[in-house]
Chains A and B, each alone.
Chain A
Amino acid sequence: MSKRHSSEDVELNVTAMLDMAFQLLAFFILTFRPPPGEAQIFLKLPPAQPVAGMTGTEKAGADENKDPSKIKTTKSLTVNLLDRESGSVTDVQVGIPSVSMKPVPYNDLEKELRSYFKAKEDSDAGQKGNAQGDYEQVVINASPTLRWEEVMKVVDMCTKFTTVKDGKLPAVSLSSAGPDPGG
């Protein structure tokens, strides 16, 4: 208190502000959840098309005979994952459905894909690799009862390869070998 100016010392009452601050603090502590450590695989998944490589702008039944070079086809390799309703992969087949599907042991699937696509490390190192063919897409056709984790392992496998033609990641497409059995 200053006697010279004969005025009283003014002090703010901070109790109310402290109450409010504690309320805010309680709110933030209660709503705080540390972000989960998550990662992702980005895929561009166009809907399944009845005609291979047909784009959305093309009309069904259009006369393509005038200029066959305009017909865009994507050469796809199909990987069938069957589970006999056990949830885990029991049989694997690799190939082109209309031509032939080759049974492959699940543990050798990565080795089998190596004969169709170039391994990413070879591609990065500029090496040729032993891959043959010009496949651009992998269609994973899985049983609807297969566990999601098993399908993701195969998607993960596919992201380790690049196409022989242009060194890009092959397009991955998912399809189900039957309807979802759940309601």
Chain B
Amino acid sequence: MSGSVPGGGVKSEPNLTPILDMVFQLITFFMLVINFKSAELDLSLQLPVLGSAKPLPDGAKIKLLVLNVQICTKCPHSGCDALATLRRITDDAKKVTGYNLVCERGHEEKWPQGAITNGKTCLTVYGRLLCKESRGKDFPGIEEYLQSEAELSMRAADPPIKNRDEIVHEGRELDDTVVIRADSGCRFGAVNFVITECQKQGYRRFALKTGQLEK
């Protein structure tokens, strides 16, 4: 809009309507493609790549419990008592060029070994590292965490499962599928520990995640 101002000059205002239209279109695009579920995936894990694995069909209605399994160790940074996990350093072509240990407090140290051999078994749940033993209120032990998830699944079952006896003695099972996202370098004992703990809670259906072969 333009017009005269008392000084004699011309007042000009940009027309914001087209930019607003474009911004709303961008917002619509991002709203449609946003996926909050990916927040539960630990994208630093490198999954094993296999030929026969199939992607989840679109619109599949299955309840999933995602467990990111990896190995952690004590942070090598002096004076830090937090736990650290392995991060791969990749180049532009996604080729692994080295390894770092990144701890919960953000310390980052070079880790030339490339694998944590005798570390602790841990689950990554929304950025928290859960170990076999509890580390306080916000960091329950793996068994404790799975127990609380199983209780929610028991309540959500149709008909609801009232107590664990129905699972142990009457052969009922939880409907949820446990998605095991384990790092390819993780030891089998750690994954088997998590699977066994899930079985104790009544989970029977498992999906072992793999990366997809590049075409």
Chain A residues packing against B (C-beta within 8 Å): 11, 14-15, 17-18, 21-22, 24-25, 28-29, 31-33, 35-47, 55-57, 87, 142-153, 155-156, 159-160, 174-176, 178-183
A40-B179, A43-B206, A176-B189 known; A156-B50 Cβ under 8 A = yes
Contact A42 B52 (CB under 8 A): no
B contact residues, total (Cβ < 8 Å): 68
Question: In the complex the two chains form, is A38's CB within 8 Å of B209's CB?
Answer: yes
What 12 new A-B contacts, CB under 8 Å, besides A18-B20, A148-B186, A176-B188? A28-B26, A28-B31, A38-B210, A39-B212, A40-B56, A42-B206, A42-B207, A56-B168, A56-B170, A145-B117, A181-B118, A183-B120
| A39-B187 contact in complex given A18-B23, A21-B24, A152-B208, C-beta closer than 8 Å | no
> Which one of A14, A36, A43, A142 lies within 8 Å of B20 (CB-CB)?
A14
Q: Which residues of A contact B20 (CB under 8 A)?
A: 14, 17-18, 21
Does the CB pair A45–B211 fall under 8 Å?
Answer: no
Does residue B41 face the partner (Cβ distance < 8 Å to A)? yes
Question: Closest A-chain residue to B46, C-beta based?
Answer: A149
Q: Let me know if B187 and A182 touch, CB within 8 A.
A: yes
B140 at the interface (CB under 8 A from A): no
B positions within 8 Å CB-CB of A: 1, 16-17, 19-20, 23-24, 26-27, 30-31, 33-35, 38, 41, 43, 47-48, 50-56, 71, 115, 117-121, 131-133, 168-171, 177, 179, 181-193, 195-196, 199-200, 204-212
Residues of A near B182 (CB, < 8 A) are: 148
Q: What's the minimum C-beta distance from B172 to chain A, rounded to whole angstroms?
A: 8
Measured between beta carbons, the chain A residues less than 8 angstroms from B210 are 38-41, 152
Interface CB pairs A-B, < 8 A, 24:
A25-B27, A28-B30, A37-B55, A38-B211, A39-B209, A39-B212, A42-B177, A46-B204, A47-B196, A87-B117, A145-B189, A147-B185, A149-B48, A149-B184, A149-B185, A152-B50, A152-B210, A156-B52, A178-B189, A179-B189, A181-B187, A182-B120, A183-B120, A183-B132
- Report, nearest first, the 10 A-B pairs whose CB atoms are least far apart: A144-B189, A56-B171, A28-B30, A180-B189, A39-B53, A149-B184, A47-B199, A40-B207, A149-B48, A176-B192
Complex CA gap A155/B1 in Å reads: 69
Partner of B212, one of A31, A38, A47: A38
Could you say which residues of chain B place their CB within 8 Å of the CB of A43?
205-208
Alpha-carbon separation in the docked complex, A149 to B132 (Å): 22
| A144 contacts B192, C-beta separation under 8 Å | yes
Chain A residue at minimum C-beta to C-beta distance from B49: A149
Q: Which residues on A sit within 8 Å (CB–CB) of B206?
A: 42-45
What residues on B are CB-neighbors of A28 within 8 Å?
Answer: 26-27, 30-31, 34
Please tell me which one of the listed residues A22, A33, A156, A182 contacts residue B118 in the complex, with CB atoms under 8 A apart: A182
Q: Which residues of A contact B47 (CB under 8 A)?
A: 38
Q: Is the CB of B48 within 8 A of A153?
A: yes
Contacting residues, chain A, for B33 (C-beta < 8 A): 32
Cross-chain contact A148 with B54 (CB below 8 angstroms):
no
Q: Which residues of A contact B207 (CB under 8 A)?
A: 40-43
Shortest Cβ gap from B137 to chain A (Å): 21
Q: How far is the CA of A33 from the CA of B121 in the complex (A)?
A: 27
Q: Which A residues are in CB contact (< 8 Å) with B119?
A: 182-183
Task: Report the minimal beta-carbon distance from B19 to chain A, rounded to whole angstroms.
Answer: 7
The residue on A at minimum CB distance from B32 is: A28
**Closest-CB distance, B81 to chain A (whole angstroms):** 14
Chain B residues within 8 Å of A33, by CB? 35, 38, 43
Nearest chain B CB to A118's CB is how many angstroms away?
16
Contacts of A11 in B (CB 8 A): 1
Distance (Å) between the CB of A82 and the closest chain B CB? 11
